Structure 1
């Protein structure tokens, strides 16, 4: 990890993830550090971190903690690419490097949030995240949303720090009221 800003960010994130038992405090403390990291993204993001995929958004691994308690990705969103409706099972801090990322939230009205069927989700608000913007989420209640770039907007690139190795999560079928646990890959 040759870049000093990235190394400092990872060091702060590692310390906080070990010290803070409350995810809300962890993301509140890390958000300003993410803003600083964004200001220096050009110093440590390399060509392979900007790798895109013609069929879906690309997840390019920037950092993975040896104990898998942190992961940092550069996500590349080509016009028209969206996530499925999903959650995280973790806290996270997201910063926008380039373009405008759109996030559409869902609210879970179901009393039992741990089941895979009978899930009632309704659309919530929408956020437009321009370059330099930082947002965060916590796992309880889990942040359920869809994120992407409309076809008429240019590419977006975002940095995503998660409080675990983000290699699985739930995707939701809003109409059917179900969710499914999925494993995901990344470019390393």
Structure 2
């Protein structure tokens, strides 16, 4: 069962990347973060039922839950020395927690699509996250690449991808704050 809390003693402002604070300021995140913290911890291995690794790929995405077609919870297994390409999040928000091993994230400034000029991407930040550490990324922050720096061990991370919903009358956007624990029979 995915019911163990994720670092329950960790204050919201400790152990999170600077980009998380950007997200927290923009959205009311108390309930979302508390729900995401209900994710599994390594010591309980609650996530092992969702663990599948395809060693022929850089990483394997294991779906845990689709929440009302507005958010997804995935368990990603990262093969040693492998990672993602540089990518955006298609207007989604992503909270990532490392469950096992370490993951290195490099965040890039988004290219100016209006300039018509091609030039190398600029690095905005670069951080390594260990077990039970959490980070956040969205297209407002930039592009990113994630990789497993270990050449011997897989890394495992939990991802909550969410999207904005829009009020038809006001046009205002709000984040879908509804991640919850999942049980598997």
CA shift, 1:5, in A, is 5.5
2:98 corresponds to 1:96: yes
Sort the Cα spacing of 1:162 and 1:23 in 2 relative to 1 into closer, same or farther, 3 A.
farther
Q: Counterparts of 1:23 and 1:38 in 2: how far apart (Å)?
A: 26
Q: Counterparts of 1:41 and 1:23 in 2: how far apart (Å)?
A: 32
CA shift, 1:144, in A, is 0.4
- Number of residue pairs matched? 143
Do the aligned residues in 1 keep the contact of 2:4 with 2:40 (CA within 8 Å)? no
Segments of structure 2 that go 5 or more residues without pairing to the other structure are: 6-23, 164-185
- 1:43-102 deviation digits (Å, cap 9, x = unpaired): 64243x22111122000001112x310100000001011101001021121111100011
Aligned to 2:151: 152
Do the aligned residues in 1 keep the contact of 2:109 with 2:141 (CA within 8 Å)? no
Aligned to 1:80: 81
Sort the Cα spacing of 1:30 and 1:147 in 2 relative to 1 into closer, same or farther, 3 A.
same
Aligned to 1:137: 137
Q: Counterparts of 2:33 and 2:43 in 1: how far apart (Å)?
A: 15
CA shift, 1:137, in A, is 2.1
Q: Counterparts of 1:154 and 1:106 in 2: how far apart (Å)?
A: 26
Aligned to 1:126: 126
From 43, 62, 65, give the equivalent of 1:63. Answer: 65
- The worse-fitting range, judged by mean Cα deviation, of 31-40 and 119-128 is 31-40
More helix by share: 1
Do the aligned residues in 1 keep the contact of 2:40 with 2:46 (CA within 8 Å)? no
Q: Counterparts of 1:40 and 1:24 in 2: how far apart (Å)?
A: 30
Question: RMSD value over aligned CA atoms?
Answer: 3.1
CA shift, 1:143, in A, is 3.0
- The alignment's TM-score, normalised by the length of structure 1, stands at 0.63
CA shift, 1:125, in A, is 1.7
Sort the Cα spacing of 1:40 and 1:78 in 2 relative to 1 into closer, same or farther, 3 A.
closer
